[in-house]
Structure 1
Amino acid sequence: MAEIFDRLVIRILLAAFVCVMIYLYRYAHVIFYPTVKRQVLKKINPAENPADTLHLFSRLVGISIIFSSITFNESSGFFLSLFHFAVWGTIAIVLYLLSLFIIESIVFYNFDYTDEILKRKNMSYAVISFCHAIVIAYLTRTVMMEAENSLIILLVLWLYMLVIVGFSVKYYTFISKLTFNRLLIQKNLSLCFSYGGFSLGAGFIIASCFDQEHYDITVYCIQVLLKTVLSLIIFPLFKKGLVKIFPIRMGEERVHEGSIENEMQSLGYGFYEGCLFISGAILTTMIVNRIQFGTIYPFF
């Protein structure tokens, strides 16, 4: 009975420790976004600026995902295990925030956080940023688990992941009919659902490429690269196939270019494209990671 009580106390202490670290992040948030100091350090009013609320709490969700990859092994001693938990938790959060800052600098290179969130209250910008926060957190969690408590391997895999994600976000302009910059300026919600589906699908594919056994870091990185290239080949096939299976009607006035453009900017088209991206990504991971040929040469 005493052992069960001790374990319960340790879990409660760890929960309190995680809450303390999240509380510290609330104040560290102003390092990346200095202009939100007034909003963050006081009570938050969600109704005043929903876009800012979504942007802030997307980071909270991401940090929660990050902590789910860190283990606490009490067999090493309570204080040593707590120190390990704190150090790796801090490293993971720093890498996560740096990754998010770099990726959003690439995607939003023509936009400024102050203008879009604080002044214009652009919900489309906030939703896209929310998707970035979730995807980067999930990928950082995957890299943390694959590193197996090795700081050198963690840094190598983190940089490798960052390069792949950086290239993948540019892939959106080639496979979507929506114009990213123009629609984001217009606060168009169809864009955020379309791009959100793309980013979640891309994150799912990249995470599946990293999720494999490894004994040599060089061979592992080559395997990840090969699976990524294979995914780039398979994904467009599924997207084209799904479009053929589920064609859409662009309206009676589709002969006019302007009407087609307005149809594409509708909320329904954003749902349509986003669902195609996610479905294609899930099916791609099945083809890339779930088919085992063994040592026998395939025959037909």
Structure 2
Amino acid sequence: MVRIVFPHLRGLRTETRIEYQHWRTISDRGQRAVLEWSKDPDPDTLERKLAEHLALSEPQVPPHLRPRNMAAEEALGSAATVLPAFLQDTAPSVSPARQVNNNNIFMKLPLEIRNMMYQYCVFYPPAKELYHAYYSQQRPRGNGKRTSGVQRSTPTIYLLCKQITREALYMLQRRVFVIDRIPPWLMGHSNPLAICNFIHGDTLQNVRYLELRVAFGEGDYGSGDVWLSLVIDILSTLAPRNSIIELKVLIKIHRVDIRHVWTRELVYYELLLQQLEDWEHKHGNRPCTVQFEHWVIDDPYAYRTGFRNPLIRRHPDPLLWPGSIMECL
């Protein structure tokens, strides 16, 4: 088999060149598959095939509401548990006699029922919601200047009592915090605002399941440099202390056939991988903390790599593809 080497990739690592060629191959196979399904006399063939691939790719639940498999956390032990000291005390805060006379109906419910209720109100806010809060709070101060961050507050459910806080945090730690958009980008600045303007550093360091959805190839000049700066910002916040059990990096690959864009983007792609590898080696709590998933975007479809015949789903999708760098520029 003769391997094609594109001239514009000669300055990159061999692994990167092979991976780029794999993305192009996946794009071609995906396009051919969609074309064949579209030619079928049965008009429902395309939708049926897409539904089959959709069932194989991801559960149809928003990522920030998706519970995680706790086997990895149990194997890791208590090293990843970072809670305030007063919440780690499992002893009841009041005497049994006082608990019986307590008029709090919620606490009289079985724990299983309370956990079902927490499912509806305990989760990390989507990135879009965090950033919208910033815009809604941008009112000029007395000197006419605007603030550069967002006013952060603790949700009420974590302020009610020790027991509710402990139970709610237990549920929150099984959620996935998803960052799928870049923070707001102020006019005249070379980079978007730091992530800690929107989520406190201590909160980010207590996240156990983090998912970054990084986009390459968006815009006329690509988007890798912007996402690289955001990922570096996040990793630097997690470097001093973190509780990460799984850091999933979902990479969206746009317009893979445009050479002048990817000559530049692949450089940032290599830098991104290097940053993640270094962080995992120095600060990861266990091996294989960082997990990757690649999707080649070819509107109106997306093809997942890693398979001989790619998984195919529609793009955009409000669950898997909720954000774009172009929405924040």
Give the TM-score of the pair, scaled to structure 2.
Answer: 0.24
TM-score, length-normalised on structure 1?
0.26
Which fold has the larger relative contact order, with Cα–Cα distance below 8 Å and residues 6 or more apart in sequence? Answer: 2
Indicate the structure with greater helix content.
1
